Amino acid sequence: MTRPIVGPRLGPALVALAVALDCSGCGYRVKGSVRPIPGGIESLGIPTFRNLTQQYRLEQLVSRAVLKEFAVRTRTPVSSRASGVDAVLVGEIRGMSATPVTFGSDTFGSVFLVTVQLAVKLVRTQDGTVLWENADYLFRERYELNRNVVEFFSEENPALERLAREFASSLASTVLNR
């Protein structure tokens, strides 16, 4: 007969501890992945992006993703305010469209491509100098339309969330590596 490695009460406790450690987000990162913002910027403000589209709350989705990405990837304090900081990352959502790319048997679109156009600039608050700018960000994300009317759920918002995270990651990489 084989004996268990751990006692009957200790086994579940070890599993719970392993899950807790795995989910805790302990803050370990690859060396060099957290860096300061170039140009001597000691604090960064990322106010809510300006939304020039009719898409409800798109500016909140994008701004939240950008704020989170910079908070994770830089040592520089990041806030959602535009005042009391060394530099401000100003963003504008200029366009958004959802275009069918695959059609079903009944000629309705079954797969869509959502496209978002953005402009962003990094401005030093002390003198208004534009430190970096890109007015031509274009991001796309694909999603499928659920054809079951009873279980219909629009996949556009999850696609926009994925797009916002991808944009935020790209933006942070570009600004931090400039």
CATH of the domain at 61: 3.30.160.150
The verdict on residue 22 lying in a domain is no
Q: What is the pLDDT of residue 31?
A: 42
Q: Is residue 2 part of a domain?
A: no
Region of residue 39 (phi > 0: left; psi between -120 and 50: alpha; otherwise: beta):
left
- Count of structural domains, the chain: 1
The pTM assigned to this predicted structure is: 0.76
Cβ neighbourhood burial of 75 (10 Å; 0-12, 13-18, 19+)? exposed
84 sits in which H/E element? none
pLDDT tens for residues 77-121?
A: 999 999 999 999 999 999 999 998 888 776 577 788 999 999 999
Is the Cβ–Cβ distance between 79 and 46 less than 8 Å? yes
- Would 154 be classed as within a structural domain? yes
Q: Tell me the residue range of the domain where 44 lies.
A: 35-176
